[in-house]
Structure 1
Amino acid sequence: MIEIKEITEDNYERVIKLEVNDDQKKYVAPNVKSLADCYVYRNNNDVFPFAIYNDEEIIGFIMFYTEDEEKEITIWRIMIDKEYQGMGYGKRALEIALEYINDKTIYEKVYIDYVVGNEIAMRLYERLGFKFDKTNEYNEVVMKYIIER
């Protein structure tokens, strides 16, 4: 069963060891950088990292950035370890993330982005209902998902 769980002192080292395939490294930040970003932005109380589990095995990482006043949340990072790609885990993890976000009734919009050229991410996000919003200054395509209540 796929689920997301908080990053703790018991699992963070396993999360850091997760990697994407070599050809994806230009699109996905290493998890150690993501956890460092969490540390840097810790005083904002708006960055939330999670491990993605398949039963008891950590297979990926996901991180949210929230903007409560705007009722928006961004899936800032998501990755599935190279050993578990192509098995539907990324799609299922995003579905679970959207369920988690939907349960937090404050949010009305969900954003996610990908680096231009990452066609696999684009197709996955589109299949889940994300729509093009804009291209930002970092050469990333930002997509938006509207939560309907």
Structure 2
Amino acid sequence: MSIRLSHVTETNFWDVINLKSDPEQEQRIQIFERWVGSNAFFLGACQVYGFTPRTIYDDEILIGFTSYGYRKENERYELISMMIGHQFQGKGYGVPIVTAIVKEMADKYNCKEIFLTVIHDNQKAIRVYEKVGFTPTGEIEQGHHPEFVYCLKLN
């Protein structure tokens, strides 16, 4: 496993857009999938809000997408989205990917905390985030679904 984060480019743009978190989503164009907004939605959010979009590769294979940045309305650094293509789920990528994102955010922003939200019933994602060290804050953010807020305190 060789996880690396990279830029969204003209070369990989359509591959990023077509990467889906659930096989049922392959046949649909939607703004929101079951547990995550579509990559197209988050690329738009990155453009409007100044977040950083990143592709996730294992060596040369595109396996996911993430976005992160400073969220002005909450005045905190957030991992805005993280999705792994359905064909790559359950293969042990979660913790290494989140760890790579956290490292890049910490290096880029020199921040002391990173926040994220996760849909209340996405138990697989919650387990991954908790393994990396994120803990629930007790807050619930109302997005498309109720989402628990988690925080990782950095040294």
Which TM-score band applies after superposition, normalised by the shorter structure? Answer: 0.7 to 0.9
- 1:38 — aligned with what? 46
| Matched ranges for 1:5-44 at <5 A | 5-21=6-22, 22=24, 25-41=33-49
The alignment status of 1:50 with 2:45, answered yes or no, reads no
Structure 1: which amino acid aligns with 2:154? Answer: I
Matches within 5 A, 1:1-149: 1-21=2-22, 22=24, 25-41=33-49, 46-67=50-71, 72-104=76-108, 106-133=110-137, 134-138=139-143, 139-148=146-155
CA distance in 2, matches of 1:137, 1:14: 30
Sort the Cα spacing of 1:78 and 1:105 in 2 relative to 1 into closer, same or farther, 3 A.
closer
Note the C-alpha offset of 1:106: 2.6
Runs of 4+ in 1 over 2 A off after TM superposition: 22-25
Gaps of 5+ in 2: 26-31
**Cα RMSD (Å) of the superposition?**
2.1
What TM-score results when the alignment is normalised by the length of structure 2?
A: 0.84
The SS at the match of 1:104 is: helix
Q: How many pairs does the alignment contain?
A: 143
Identical aligned residues as a percent: 27
Consecutive unaligned residues of structure 1, counting only runs of 5 or more, are none
